[in-house]
Amino acid sequence: MSNFVVRRLLSVIPIAFIVLITVFLLLHIGPGDPAALIAGENATRDQIEAIRERLFLDRPLLEQLFLYLSNVAHLDLGQSVYSGFPVLKLILQRVEPTAVLAVSTLILSVLIAVPMGVWGAWRAGSAIDTFLIVASVVGFSVPVFVIGYVLVDLFALRAGWLPVQGYKPLSSGFWNCLRSITLPSITLSFLFSALVARITRATMLEVLAEDYIRTARAKGANNRRILIVHALKNIGVPVVTVIGTSFAALLGGVVITESVFNIPGMGRLTVDAILTRDYPVVQGVLIVFSFVLIAVNLLVDLSYALFDPRVRQ
Amino acid sequence: MTGEPFLSIRNLTVGFGAGGAIRAVRDVSFDLEAGKTLCLVGESGSGKSVTATSIMGLHKPGSAHVEAATMRLDGINLLECDEREMSRLRGSLMAMIFQDPMSSLNPALTIGFQLREALLLHEKMSTRAANARVMEVLQRVRIPDAARRMSAYPHQLSGGMRQRIMIAMALICRPRLLIADEPTTALDVTVQAQILWLLSELQREFGTAIIFITHDLGVVAEIADDVAVMYAGSLVERGPVHAIFENPAHGYTAGLLRATAEFVPGEPSRGRLEEIPGNVPSFSMLPQGCSFVERCRFAVDSCHRRTPDWRDVTFGHASRCDQPVAYGPTANLTVEVSA
């Protein structure tokens, strides 16, 4: 067991390096002179040279890489070209809304999707099952911004139950924060819960056809017991896997949702940085998102041991 | 004690598909006395497992149409039981073990949990008392180091060990009927013999009636009291094991016996095995007359015209063949009839 954990933890190190090197190279892979790109179209020659020197772009590539890695190791992600603030500070300012949005969407989606998928599989072929399939296809297909604006129109503008946009930080009180994040979370969970529900249903169908489910019935276990005791633990691995892998899609959705609801989070920071060609900020954001994904997938892998005793060895 | 047999099946018909159109089991009738072993014999797809699954009520809800004139077990009319009553009977009065013990055990739950559950579903007792019963039954089926196996998972055990666990799980509530669906097919030959021996020992001890499904006539010779031979969804011959082996009265039974190898150390081999020509007909394309007619070496004109009725050969031995004398004593196997 501990062997498995240690092995899995060690495997994170090379992945982290690959991410950092890729992020570093992004600036150099693109066409043209990175210094000129950062300086913008109307920059003078002197301005471009100043940027080149400030960002060490005149040094050999390998030296630049080591400088970069050493800076990242010291939590120095550089300065914003646009505002001059340290990138780390900019990111830390924006982390909370995004984290709150992602976590609340994750919880909401799992609470909706897993029972939905289990129920659909249990009543496979029924009208309810068909409805759930259609619902998840719709949830998966309709763009996030469409769902967002429709929800805002219904629940904020017409009903007036929830704020139209904006974000109240946790420091303003838990309920305030929750109210401001409700519509964005629901919007984003359409996509995510559709993905999870489909995999849950498919896996559950497979598990229910297994021989050990027949054994459980032969023992005299009733339907509810079969679902909860014998089937649920066996769908754990595939369901947690899809939650982990589609977490990337969730982060993609965060960017759009933050724009729709005017939430000052990491997504907005990313979009703004890309539009202003603020490369150090783009790189910093990429590193943070990548590391979050690595951490989520590490947790997913570790959770396998919880569901499947065969992994523990 | 009434005159009623312990298990009595009359005219069991099971259909699948829309309106039960594909009839996998047709008009099957047999009785089983308490403490006896009935072997259901036949090729894959002949309807043996479907028959057994129907007695247990284990078909997926809505997938099978089960009809019968009588289906009584220990005085209980199984046809009138709803799902709740059936799940109360399953595991307590009747239990079942399956072909593949690996896939039949839940990979995510410990052996101890799965055994304890089988007990606690039917008997109210403390976990402590249940654990004691589990330990007892594990020792009964000769699981070495039983205390340690309780916390093991199925993948940590060997195939033979897993089937012992399945047997322990089936017998823990002392059911009066055990249905064993090819329980030794997936096991090594040496392990097979141990499992068969264990089953007959437990049967003697608990007085369990056993329906043993197999296509292995060697196994039948070991354990059966009575034999019922199935072909294409119907019973074609039934009777005491020695009568069937010594004097088969149906072309299919005779063919099965000729196709069975026997090796006696020190004796020369008895020549080539004979195969039964052709394949089992599909349920939608059964021939006119006797369903075995196209593969039968002894078929005459009348066999093509009408489906034969049951015909008594000797007392308790009957076959559904109009030419039951044609086959002669073909028994390839020696039957040890235990006294």
What domains sit in chain B, N to C, each tagged with a CATH number? 33-64+82-319 (3.40.50.300)
Which residue, B240, B227, B230, is CA-closest to B48? B230
Confidence grade of residue A1 (pLDDT, cut at 50, 70, 90): low
Name the phi and psi angles at A298, rounded to 5.
Answer: -65, -45
pLDDT, tens only, B4-22: 899 999 999 999 988 778 8
Q: B14: distance to nearest CA of chain A, Å?
A: 19
Closest CA to A250 of A105, A91, A143: A105
Selected residue of A1, A215, A234 to mutate for chain B interface (largest B Cβ count, 10 A): A215
The confidence score (pLDDT) of residue B329 equals 52
ipTM of the complex: 0.86
Instruction: For residue B100, give the chain A residue with the closest CA.
Output: A211
**B156: closest chain A residue by CA:** A310
B334: pLDDT strictly greater than 80: no
The tokens describing A221, both together, are 């276990």
**Which range (A179-183, A261-265, B275-279) has the least confidence?**
B275-279
Helix or strand holding residue B314 (H, E): strand B311-314
Give me the mean pLDDT over the B148-176 stretch: 92
Candidates A205, A207, A212, partner chain B, best to mutate (most B CBs within 10 A): A212
* pLDDT for B210 beyond 60: yes
A219: nearest CB among B108, B110, B121: B121
Query: In the structure encoding, which two tokens stand for residue A247, read together?
Result: 């977490």
Cβ contact A308–B169 (<8 Å): no
Tokens read off for A177: 């924060």
Calculate how close chain A gets to B292, using CA atoms only, in Å. Answer: 32
pTM score: 0.82
B58/A219 touch (CB, cutoff 8 Å), yes or no: no
Q: Do A217 and B58 touch (CB under 8 A)?
A: yes
- What are A223-246's pLDDT values in tens digits? 899 999 999 999 999 999 999 988
CB contact under 8 A, A222 and B84: yes
In the predicted model, what is the mean pLDDT of chain B? 86
Contact A309 B106 (CB under 8 A): no
Residue A128 burial (10 A CB sphere; 0-12, 13-18, 19+)? middle
- Phi/psi for B71 (5° steps) reads -150, 90
Look at residue B262 and tell me whether its pLDDT is greater than 70.
no
CB pairs under 8 A between A and B: 73
Q: Please report, as a single letter, which amino acid is at residue A86.
A: P
**Chain-wide mean pLDDT for chain A?**
89
CA–CA min distance A278, chain B (Å): 50
**How does pLDDT run across B35-90, given as a tens digit for each residue?**
999 999 988 888 999 999 999 999 887 788 999 999 999 999 999 999 899 999 99
Return the DSSP state at B188.
-
In 10 A of CB B120, how many CB atoms?
17
CA distance to partner chain A, nearest, from residue B168 (Å): 12
User: Quick one: what percent of chain B has pLDDT higher than 90?
Assistant: 48
A225 Cα to chain B: minimum distance (Å): 10
Residue A218 touches partner B, C-beta closer than 8 Å: yes
Residue A229 at interface with chain B, using a CB cutoff of 8 Å: yes
* B30 has pLDDT over 80: yes
For chain A, the domains span: 89-280
pLDDT over 50 at B33, yes or no = yes
Task: Provide, as residue numbers in chain B, all residues whose Cβ is less than 8 Å from the Cβ of A218.
Answer: 56, 58, 90-91, 95-96, 170
Dihedral sign, CA of A227, A232, A233, A234?
Answer: positive
Chain A neighbors of B106, CB-CB under 8 A? 212, 215-216, 230, 234
What are the tokens at A279?
Answer: 């490369």
When mean pLDDT is compared across A230-239, A262-271, B33-42, B284-293, the lowest value belongs to B284-293
Residue from the list B89, B108, B121 with its beta carbon closest to the beta carbon of A308: B108
Judge: domain A89-280, CATH 1.10.3720.10: yes
Nearest to A124 by CA among A230, A224, A206: A206
Q: Based on C-alpha coordinates, what's the Rg of chain B?
A: 21
What pLDDT does residue B326 have?
58
Residue A40: CB partners within 8 Å, gap ≥ 6?
A: A277
pLDDT confidence of residue A45: 85
Residue A118 pLDDT greater than 60, yes or no: yes
Could you tell me where the DSSP H helices lie in chain B?
48-56, 83-89, 101-104, 111-120, 127-140, 146-149, 159-171, 189-206, 217-223, 241-246, 251-258, 301-305
Task: Please indicate whether, in this complex, the C-beta atoms of A218 and B96 are within 8 angstroms of each other.
Answer: yes
SS3 B283: helix
**Cβ burial, residue B214 (10 Å; 0-12/13-18/19+):** buried
pLDDT band at B331 (very low <50, low <70, confident <90, very high): very low
Residue pLDDT, tens place only, B84-130: 999 999 999 999 999 888 899 999 999 999 999 999 999 999 999 99
Q: Regarding predicted confidence, which is higher, B248 or B326?
A: B248
Angle at the Cα of A233 (from A232 to A238), degrees rounded to 5? 90
Tokens representing residue A231 in the block: 């089937």
Shortest Cα distance, chain A CAs vs residue B252, angstroms:
31
**Confidence band of A309 (pLDDT split at 50, 70, 90):** confident
Could you tell me how far CA A171 lies from the centroid of its own chain? 24
Tokens for B3, please give them.
Answer: 């005159």
Which pLDDT score, from 0 to 100, does residue B172 have?
92
The string of pLDDT tens digits covering residues A31-50 is: 677 787 777 777 788 888 88
pLDDT for the residue B1: 47
Is pLDDT above 60 for A122? Answer: yes
Interface of B with A (CB under 8 A): 56, 58, 84, 87-92, 95-96, 98, 100, 103-110, 117-118, 121-122, 153, 155, 166, 169-170
User: Which residues does residue B181 pair with via DSSP β-bridges, in sequence order?
Assistant: B213
